[in-house]
Structure formats: C-alpha cells, structure tokens
Structure 1
Amino acid sequence: MSALTLKNLDISYGDTKVVHGVNLDVPEGESFALVGESGSGKSTILRAIAGLAPEWTGEISVLGKPRTHGVDRNVSRQVQMVFQDPYGSLHPRKTIDSALSEPLAIHGIGNRGERVEAVLKQVGLDQRFRFRFPHQLSGGQRQRVAIARALMLEPKVLLLDEPTSALDVSVQAEILNLLKRLRREQNLTFLMVTHNLPVVSFLCDRLAVMRHGRIVEIADVAQLKQGDLKEPYSRELLAATAA
C-alpha cells in the first residue's frame, strides 16, 4: 500500500501559487527525499500533508485514505512532523515530560508516564532528561526529544523538514543513524526535505528534485550515487554539492 499519494497538488499562500501539479507516490516503508533550492516548495508540501498549509487543491492520501483540509485527528495519529529547529519547535517553559505527554492528552491516550519513558529510551535519552527544560539540553538532545514527540502517537509516517541542518556536523551523524534505526525497527515511512545530497544518499531510497514548485525529476538513490541524474538542473545540484 502507498503511505502517501499526492495527485495534481497545487498549494497557494494567498494569491501566490507555490506548488504546481505535484504527483507523488511513496510506498509504505520507503524513505523518500524532496530536494531543491530554497523556495522550491519542498517544505510547503510537508506542511500541506501535516495540515499546516490549508490552501491546496488536488488530492492528498495517507495510507490509502484521502485527507481533508486543516487539522485531521485521524491523520495526526498516522503522520507526524519533525521540524528543522529543535529549539523553536519545543515550548521553552514546558518540561520534556510535558511536551511528550501533550499529544497523548489531546488524543485521550493513557499510561502516559510509561509511554514517555519508553519513547525516551527509543531515541537514546535516559530518564534524567524527562523533567528538564529545552534550554537545559544540547541541540542534538533537543532534536532527539522532537523525534520522540513525533513518535508518541506511534505514527506510520514521519515528515522530516531538514532534521539535521541546524545541528553541528558531529551531531548530524548521530541523528541520521537514529532515524535510520527507528525506520528499520518500526517500519516507518519517511518523507524528508533536505538540501544535503549526502544525507539523501545515506538515508533515502528515492528522491524528487523540485524547482519553482514543480517536480522536474524522480530518481533512485543509486542514480544519485552514480551521478546518473537526467535533468540539467538535477545535475547542477549534484555538481554544487561535489564542489
């Protein structure tokens, strides 16, 4: 089954259309990347899937079921998003325990203490972090908490918006290895936005190259590693990374 299907997806902010006619199918268990220059519409697609970009037309399906506009509680149980800035995405005055418990409270899920402890362990944080505040954690630890929060509802799909770009290079590898392990252990589907083609090579199976709100090429990661991208713009991105 497809985890995510987009058909003729147009997304606008007011009178400005930023995504044009995107068609995409991501099977369950796949890790798929959206790459391209800033402003090409990559993150906007994630936001539409998550219900954070209300002005869209076309079709968005999650695990075979069409999603409606705005917040959809059923979709929230299946799809969660990890944002670029781990500090900005966590409330500075709420403890880690409170941040992780909130999704459970919203969806009326019990055993919150046990679930918080279990998910912290999954992302490699011991229990001493549970009652700390975000400013008491390093950037890498905050991103582990952001990933833990995304996992609280046991989703099938994670939307990853540049999940390592705000981190030091040494910490980036730790988070990428964590994501790779979680995907394997929990059979997660990833849709990831990144500028970093080596990250795509490490974590993803396929990629779509976007330019000016349109997909210009879809390729296997094997083609990326071999430098066998077809479109001139795709080759430009690859050359810029290698430079």
Structure 2
Amino acid sequence: MSAISLRNLDISYGQTKVVTGVNIDVAEGESFALVGESGSGKSTVLKAIAGLAPDWTGEISVLGQPRGHKVDRAFAGQCQMVFQDPYASLHPRKTVDGVLSEPLMIHGLGNRSARVVEMLQAVGLDKRFRFRFPHQLSGGQRQRVAIARALMLEPKVMLLDEPTSALDVSVQAEILNLLKRLRREQGLTYLMVTHNLPVVSFMCDRMAVMNKGRVVEIAPASALHDGSFSDPYTQALYAASGGNPDRKEAP
C-alpha cells in the first residue's frame, strides 16, 4: 500500500490553475522529494494533501484512505506537516509545553506531561526548554519544537516544506540529521519539498521534478550521483546545481 497516492491532481488558487495532472506514489517508509524552482507548485501539493489548499480535483489518498478537502481529526492522527519558517509556525504567546500539549488536548489524549517530556527528548531538547516561549529559542530550537509538535499524535506520514531553508547554515545539518534519525526510529514516511539537491541526495530515496505545475520526471535520488536524468529541464536543474551534489554528511 502506498503511504501517499496522488492521481490526476489539479490545484487552483481562484481562477488560476497552479498544479496540473500530478501522479505520484510514495511507498510506506520512503523519503520522497518534490524539487524544482520557486513557483513550480511543490509546496502547493503539500498544502493540498494537508487540507490547506482545498480547491483541487483528482484523487489524494493517505495510507489507503481517500483524502477530503478539509482537515479532519482522523487525518491529523495519520499525517502532519512541518512548515518552512519556525519563526512563524509557533504561537508567540504559548510556551513550548502549551504548543506540544495542544494536539493532545484537541484529540482528548491523556498522559500529556510525560508525552511532552518524551517528545522533547526525541528531538534533542532538554526538559528545561519546556516552559520557554518561542522568542527565547534559537531558530534551530524552534524547528525542533515544530517537529516535536508534528510527532505528538504519532503520525506515520510527515509533510516537510523546506524544513531547513529558513535556518542558519550552521544548524541545517543538525535538523536534517534529526529528521533522518526520526524516520529510522519511528518508521516514518516523508514527502519533502526542497530546492536543494544536496538535501535530496542526503535525505531521500526518490524525487519528482516539477516545472510550471507539472511533474516532468520521477527519478531515484541515486541519479544525482551521475546525472542520469532524461528530461531536459531536470538535466538543466542538475547542471545548475554544479553537477554531483552527493555528500558524505548532511549538507
């Protein structure tokens, strides 16, 4: 069974169609990237899956369940999203404890205190961070909290929208290593949006290349090692990245 299945997906903003005819299958446990230039429709695909871009046609399935056009509780327990900007995604007047407890309260789940401490530890934050406010955290610490919040309901699918692009270069590798470890330890499936091909090489198994709202090629991430792409746009994107973006460690 596919963790995520998209069939003939068209997405519009008002009268403007921004994504056309997307067909993608992401296997359970896979890390799959959507890559392309800014404005190619990558993040819009994630928003449609998450229920944040409701004007779409086609089919979206997550873990075998057809996706509706709105956010629902059952879906939230299966799939969560981590946003690009950790400075905008956390409520400035809520402590870390409040941010992490909120999903448990909404879903009527108990054992909240222990779960908050456990999840802080899972993302590499000491319990002394528990009652701090977002303005008292660095960008990397905020993104760790955002990842912890996404994991509070124990989803199996994570949508990652450029999760490191708003961070200082010095902490990007730390967050990527954290995501890679969490995927391994918790059996997660990732659908990641990024424009950074070294991140794809480090994090992902396969990639779909988008151009002007369409998927022009689906290829294994190993193609980044030798440039074995078939579509001219993908070849140009690869060349613009400087060729082989492979890394021994996180970019």
Does TM, normalized by the shorter one, top 0.5?
yes
Q: Secondary structure, in 3 states, of the residue corresponding to 1:172?
A: helix
Matches within 5 A, 1:118-137: 118-137=118-137
What is the CA distance between 1:237 and its match in structure 2? 1.0
Report the AA paired with residue 236 of structure 1: A
Q: Note the alpha carbon deviations across 1:22-56, whole angstroms, 9 max, x for none.
A: 00000000000000011111000000100111100
Counterparts of 1:202 and 1:193 in 2: how far apart (Å)? 14
Q: Hey, what's the Cα distance between the residues in 2 that align with 1:234 and 1:29?
A: 25
Q: Which secondary structure does the structure 2 equivalent of 1:242 belong to? A: coil
State the secondary structure of the residue aligned to 2:38: coil
**Structure 1 residue 170: deviation in Å?**
1.4
Q: Which amino acid aligns with 2:206?
A: R
Cα displacement string for residues 94-142 of structure 1 (whole angstroms, at most 9, x for unaligned residues): 1000000111111111111011000000000010000000010111000
What is the match of residue 246 of structure 2?
A: none
| TM-score normalized by the length of structure 1 | 0.99
Instruction: Report % sequence identity.
Output: 77
Task: Give the unaligned 5+ runs of structure 2.
Answer: 244-251
For residues 112 and 103 of structure 1, what CA distance do their matches in structure 2 show? 10
What's the offset of the Cα at 1:168? 1.1
2:239 aligns with: 239
Q: Which residue of 2 aligns with 1:21?
A: 21
Give the whole-Å Cα distance in 2 for the aligned partners of 1:79 and 1:214: 24
Q: 1:229: Cα distance to partner?
A: 1.3
Matched, 1:163 2:163: yes
Equivalent in the alignment of 2:141: 141
Structure 1 gap segments, 5+ residues each: none
Structure 1 stretches of 4+ with a deviation exceeding 6 A read: none
Matched, 1:210 2:215: no
User: C-alpha distance in 1, partners of 2:165/2:134?
Assistant: 18
Aligned residues: 243
RMSD between superposed Cα atoms in Å: 0.8
